[in-house]
Structure 1
Amino acid sequence: MQVLQVQLAVQADPSEVGRARRWVRARLAGHGLDPAAPVAETLVLVVSELVTNAVVHTGCPAVLRLTMPAADAGCPVRVEVADSSHAAPAPRHAGDDEGATNGRGLELVELLCDRWGWYPDGSGKRVWCEIDPAATVPLECPEPVAAAR
């Protein structure tokens, strides 16, 4: 089975998150996956969350790794982000009073991925997740509901 494994060094700067998203889109397109496909959108969102966590919570550089099997292999796509912190990632379930921007990253990863986890790795840790392209459903917003008068 042919597998493409690529990685990107990410600096300790929140602007690197956007670069990581663009990089993933380009790698997916180069691997023959439509960047607008549901699995591509899900992968970009998951990468965004994991890279954000690594950069914001450690303040150190990280390494993003993407492992993609051949399209017809029936195997999951794997995302890994290695950073230099030994602190375990802890999903938080953000309350209504926390605003729309904090505490939902790992919760999204948990909801969107088939599996995820982490393990100590060298001088830090590696957070990983897997997404089965065949099982991914589109990320869609619900239809607006007319307000009752």
Structure 2
Amino acid sequence: MQVLQVQLEVGADPAEVGRARRWARSRLAGCGIGVDEPLAETLILLISELVTNAVVHTGCPAVLRMLFGEPGVRVEVADVSAHPPARRHADGESTNGRGLELVDGLADRWGWQPEGAGKRIWCEVDRDAKADDPADVPLTRC
């Protein structure tokens, strides 16, 4: 089983979110996922949400990882905060607080786990939503 993994260190500045999106688009294109494909658009939105959450809620640098294989693409964001992610329920007028709800709605799977002194939040999007059991399909190089 082979997995292609790429990673980017993201600074604590919110402007880094845009840099993370540009970097991710170039990596997706390098794996044959066109930037205008629905899969790419979904992944970029998920990356934007996870990186934004890490930068805004910790005020510290983070690491963005993308793992390409089968059944799809896994995105991970590691930060130094040990606080678990908290789902918030934004009201209709709020301009924030919808990030994890969005991740839950767009990703095929997502979760988090402790990593060192901090945590890693991850999500996965399948390339083929018709996979029999994604947990049984090994990741391979894109």
Structure-2-length-normalised TM-score: 0.88
Match of 1:146 in 2: none
Q: What are the residue-to-residue correspondences of 1:1-149 with 2, within 5 Å?
A: 1-69=1-69, 73=70, 75-98=71-94, 101-135=95-129
Identity percentage over the alignment?
68
Cα deviation for residue 90 of structure 1 reads 1.1
Q: Partner amino acid for 1:53?
A: N
Q: Secondary structure at the match of 1:117?
A: strand
Cα deviation for residue 96 of structure 1 reads 1.5
**d(CA) in 2 for partners of 1:42 and 1:97?**
24
Q: State the number of aligned residues.
A: 130
Task: Give the alignment's Cα RMSD to 1 decimal.
Answer: 1.3
Give the number of the structure with larger relative contact order, counting CA–CA contacts within 8 Å between residues 6 or more apart: 2
**d(CA) in 2 for partners of 1:77 and 1:95?**
31
**Greater Rg, structure 1 or structure 2?**
1
Q: Partner amino acid for 1:39?
A: L
**d(CA) in 2 for partners of 1:115 and 1:15?**
27
**d(CA) in 2 for partners of 1:41 and 1:83?**
24
Q: Secondary structure at the match of 1:57?
A: helix
Cα deviation for residue 2 of structure 1 reads 3.8
Structure-1-length-normalised TM-score: 0.84
Cα deviation for residue 92 of structure 1 reads 1.2
Runs of at least 5 residues in structure 2 that lack an aligned partner in the other structure = 131-142
Cα deviation for residue 20 of structure 1 reads 0.3
**d(CA) in 2 for partners of 1:92 and 1:76?**
28
Q: Partner amino acid for 1:128?
A: W
Runs of at least 5 residues in structure 1 that lack an aligned partner in the other structure = 137-149
**d(CA) in 1 for partners of 2:20 and 2:64?**
8
